[in-house]
Chains A and B, each alone.
Chain A
Amino acid sequence: MAARRISSLLSRSAPLLSRRGKQSYTSRGIFRYTTAAAALEEPIKPPVNVKYDKLLINGQFVDAASGKTFPTLDPRTGEVITHVPEGDAEDINRAVSAARKAFDEGPWPKMTAYERQRILLRFADLVEKHNDEIAALETWDSGKLFEQCAKIEVPMFVRLFRYYAGWTDKIHGMTIPGDGPHHVQTLHEPIGVCGQIIPWNFPLVMFAWKVGPALACGNTIVLKTAEQTPLSALLVSKLLHEAGLPDGVLNIVSGFGPTAGAALCSHMDVDKIAFTGSTETGKIVLELSAKSNLKPVTLELGGKSPFIVCEDADVDKAVELAHFALFFNQGQCCCAGSRTYVHEKVYDEFLEKAKARALQRAVGDPFKSGMEQGPQIDSEQFEKILKYIRSGTESGATLETGGDRLGTKGYYVQPTVFSNVKDDMLIAKDEIFGPVQTILKFNELNDVIKRANNTRYGLAAGVFTSNLDTANTLTRALRAGTVWINCFDTFDATIPFGGYKMSGIGREKGEYSLKNYLQVKAVVTALKNPAWL
């Protein structure tokens, strides 16, 4: 039942983020982006204090070896929330040696699977208890909507840890028929010390995708958080230790990619790397692994996912879903439906309604209820998005709405819609990672399949049709790791997620995620007088 409840929360996210705004949109601090000149009011004071702001190494909160710190900023204002120790190579070394010791000498991998499961379940309960505090910290640090954190992401985090707790005692090896008198078995062993690097767009959920399966399989971890969002990982890690996790099993190093991240990827004593982030950085991660010790690498990278609206579409629903597919989380989703292909028969109507929907989007302080969109994460992303918007205009796409910053403070961007977008425009090729919808026209199914696949990415795709044949044809033909039909961003714990082509290597979530954290050992024994073979 718990599962059912979470899902309904998640599916609610579409209406939550759209319709509800309408009722309350004149309340204080909410802006339709059309009131672009308006300045945002004073930001709401977050209902939370920062309690943990150090590195977590071997069960202790410690300063960086260098003594350096870096500021983590409030995306609503660009002001400093707090200063966090800046881990670099030396701190990664300390964390890896703690994780190495915790793996090689225990007790973690030497506990029973059931004992590990109990700790993960206790942890899930603790997080549930601290739901709102954790959600508030996440919103403060990342700028995403508090309602989204409190009602969707933290419950999803809890659900993921319960899911992985259930896997701990179900990691089965196989027995295998031999071609002769041999007894053959495979052991699925923990892989060892896992390096994990998570992004800033879903700090907690990405933490769960990575830490959940690694712990379920009996590994130890050095996790590097994104420098934009170091706070929530430290808070939940404290809770994980309260739940009974032994020291050194999970180590958290806050810091930057070129220093801490690179040191982790190059480390000769790290047995596995999992990375979520941009394709460019993913290539470096894999290269560092190749140059060091060939640790296996899982990559979840960028995307430019097509959302295909067929001619039989209920246009209102299609508009709402396509809007959600792109604008959810300020457009900061690797799987954002960022190429909206609309059949020519419904194109004009779709366009008009998509524009109207974007104009209705409630943008403002993410701590306000009824908000649909908060600020972008930081000034770098903010500038990048505005640059892409200019590029769209310059390349001859039609700017239907939006196109500029919103307000004068923080990193808010107007919900932006481009029509008459052509496949060869930069805005139709690059990952923008912001609230910029690009609408393209198609008239033939085979043609749109080719166009949809004509990208270096292959993370996800949306299909909107009620025709079974169309759905089946598109589903098989699209070269993407996830195909959502008449839905989008359904992220249940059991559903594997990952990319074709340059969107990544491997799958996270579901049964598939376990193999990222297991080694396979074949054990073969000679049989004397076997009763059967």
Chain B
Amino acid sequence: MAARRISSLFSRSLSLPTAPASLGFGRGMQRFTSSAAVIDEPIIPPLQINYTKLLINGQFVDSASGKTFPTLDPRTGEVIAHVAEGDAEDINRAVSAARKAFDEGPWPRMTAYERSRIMLRFADLAEKHTQELAQLETWDNGKPYEQALTAELPLFVRLFHYYAGWADKIHGLTVPADGPHHVQVLHEPIGVAGQIIPWNFPLLMLAWKVGPALACGNTIVLKSAEQTPLTALYVAKLFQEAGLPDGVLNVVSGYGSTAGAALASHMDVDKLAFTGSTNTGKVVLELAARSNLKPVTLELGGKSPFIVCDDADVDHAVELAHFALFFNQGQCCCAGSRTYVHERIYDEFVDKAKARALGRTVGDPFKNGIEQGPQIDLKQFEKVLRYIKSGIDSDATLECGGDRFGSKGYFVQPTVFSNVKDDMLIAQDEIFGPVQSILKFKDVDKVIKRANATRYGLAAGVFTTNIDKANTISRGLKAGTVWINCYDIFDAAIPFGGYKMSGIGREKGVYSLNNYLQVKSVISPLKNPAWL
């Protein structure tokens, strides 16, 4: 039942868009069309920032250099807190704590049941602190509080329940031999796992990474994104309360080129998992290749097609395509950022997609009924505006939006382009913002080719009630996830990851365990075997 409840909460994120219509004029809430409006004073969450240091070997400590960096409120660009800035020296300290916790510590030597109990206790604690965690996540990241509270936190808790259940179900195999040998395969923890998570879903990405690593008995050095260091430190504290031994989970806040690179290059790290951009992912893999060949899992960028077939219920398709792109300010690696619409319904679709975007409520993410908060930071904000300009310059039709929203913080107007061509930059690059590109198609075979003509292959959406089309398209698309008549369904059991340059490996589901296990074959001869 818990699962059902969480899902319905999560699917509610889908229906969020229509809800605000009834309460649309609350304070601080703006249709983006009133773009001249200035956002009211930001709501300050009733929250104290207690954890701003690095967590190494169970202690919150300053960075070795003593340096700190500010983490900013995306609504205003103002400082929330100064956080210890970890670099190579701190990574070294964290890795040696994790190494010791793995090689000598109780963690891998506990029973799987004991590990499972600690993870369950942690999930319970996270559930108890749902509000504070959701507030902290919104403050640091700018995502709607309702989304954090009713979709992401329950999913975070659900993921740890899921992985707690795996702890005592890591089975090896016994294997039939070609002769008188007893063959077994042990699935062992891989060791010290380095994990680098992004800023768009700080808590969920932590759960995707930390959950399976702990379930498999590993120890961890986690580098959070410099834009969003706060929630990881908070949950690390809860993990301690739940009984996680010191050194098992170390959290280093800091930058990619210093702390991240040191982690990826470290000779004593046995595994690296990274979520972020394709360009950084290439660097991460290269650093692993140049150092100790640690296996690398990569979850990278995307330019996922959302294909609306001619049999579509247009209203429903518009709503889903809108959600697929605009969810989380468009800051999703799997955003449905190429909306392919069949020519028969194209004009109607564009009209309604435009109307839907114009109806999108943008404003302070702490406000009820808000659908869209600010982008994460100035750099992303400017990048998004640059792509919008490129869309205009390349002669796509700007249907709505196209500029910043308000005059403070990093808000961007929900933007829709029609008449987009495959070779335009906005149809090729990952924009990572609230910019929908609508393209026209007429033939299923051809749209499959066009959908696949990208270096990415993370996800895809298909909107049709025709089972033949659904089957043809879902086999034909080179993408790690195909959502049919739905989008962004992220249940714990569903594997997620990319084809092509969208990544290597899968997270979530049974598949995620591979990332954190080594396989050891053990063979001994049999004397007088009763069977072979």
Contacts and interface: CB of A to CB of B under 8 A. Distances in A.
Contacts of B474: 187, 521, 523
B183 A494 contact: yes
B511 A520 contact: yes
Given A294-B504, A484-B523, A495-B175, A524 B282 contact: no
A289 interface: yes
B425 to A, nearest CB: 20
B290 interface: yes
B178 A294 contact: no
Interface in A475-507: 475-476, 479-487, 490, 492-498, 500-502, 504-507
A108 to B, nearest CB: 15
A533 B6 CA distance: 14
Contact of B282 (A6, A294, A507): A294
A8 interface: yes
Interface string A494-532: 111110111011110011100100011111111000000
Contacts of A502: 292-293
B470 A525 contact: yes
Interface stretch (A195-203, A280-288, A378-386): A280-288
Contacts of A506: 295
A471 interface: yes
Interface in A172-205: 174, 176-182, 184, 186-187, 189
Nearest to A501: B292
Contacts of B8: 180
B19 interface: no
A7 interface: yes
Interface in B473-489: 474-475, 478-486, 489
B525 A294 contact: no
Contacts of B288: 286, 290
Given A494-B175, A525-B484, A179 B292 contact: no
Nearest to A487: B525
B489 A294 contact: no
Contacts of B525: 485-487
Contacts of A129: none
Given A286-B285, A495-B183, 14 more contacts: A4-B178, A10-B178, A174-B510, A180-B4, A180-B8, A283-B293, A293-B455, A294-B504, A296-B504, A476-B186, A481-B521, A505-B295, A506-B295, A526-B484
B493 A290 contact: no
A496 B521 contact: yes
A291 interface: yes
A275 to B, nearest CB: 11
A192 to B, nearest CB: 8
Contact of B178 (A159, A182, A486, A533): A159
A263 B183 CA distance: 39
B517 to A, nearest CB: 11
Contacts of B503: 294
Interface in B279-294: 281-283, 285-286, 288-290, 292-293
A77 interface: no
A58 B20 CA distance: 60
Interface in B494-523: 494-497, 499-501, 503-506, 509-511, 514, 518-523
Contact of B285 (A282, A294, A485): A294
Contact of B494 (A181, A184, A296, A495): A184
A19 interface: no
Contact of A178 (B7, B300, B470, B532): B7
Residue with the highest number of chain B CB atoms closer than 10 Å, among A186, A293, A486, A512: A186
B95 interface: no
A495 B485 contact: no
A493 B176 CA distance: 10
A505 B511 CA distance: 17
Given A290-B289, A496-B185, A179 B495 contact: no
B312 to A, nearest CB: 13
A494 B293 contact: no
Given A179-B10, A180-B491, A526 B286 contact: no
Nearest to B284: A290
B285 A486 contact: no
B3 interface: yes
Nearest to B285: A290
Contact of B480 (A174, A279, A522, A525): A522
A494 B4 contact: no
Contacts of B178: 3-4, 6-7, 10, 159, 492-494
B491 A482 contact: no
Given A178-B491, A179-B492, A523 B522 contact: no
Interface string A287-306: 10111011010010100000
A311 B197 CA distance: 49
15 contacts: A176-B491, A181-B7, A187-B474, A286-B293, A290-B283, A290-B285, A301-B293, A484-B524, A492-B178, A492-B181, A494-B178, A500-B520, A521-B499, A525-B485, A526-B485
A176 B514 CA distance: 17
Interface of A: 3-4, 6-8, 10-11, 159, 174, 176-182, 184, 186-187, 189, 271, 279, 282-284, 286-287, 289-291, 293-294, 296, 299, 301, 456, 471, 475-476, 479-487, 490, 492-498, 500-502, 504-507, 510-512, 515, 519-526, 533
Nearest to B483: A524
A492 B289 contact: no
Contacts of A4: 178-179, 532
Interface string B440-462: 00000000000000010000000
A487 B524 contact: yes
A475 B522 contact: yes
A521 B521 contact: no
A483 B493 contact: no
B485 A522 contact: no
A519 B175 CA distance: 24
Given A187-B475, A494-B178, A495-B183, A179 B286 contact: no
B303 interface: no
A12 to B, nearest CB: 10
In the complex, the 5 A-B pairs of residues with the closest C-beta atoms, listed nearest first: A7-B179, A180-B7, A286-B289, A290-B285, A7-B178
Contacts of B514: 515
B516 to A, nearest CB: 14
B270 interface: yes
B523 A490 contact: yes
Contact of B522 (A178, A181, A485): A485
Contacts of A7: 177-181
Contacts of A490: 177, 179, 181, 523
Given A492-B183, A501-B270, A179 B6 contact: yes
Nearest to B184: A475
B482 A521 contact: yes
Nearest to B527: A486
Given A490-B181, A507-B519, A522 B496 contact: yes
A497 B158 contact: no
B173 interface: yes
A177 B493 contact: yes
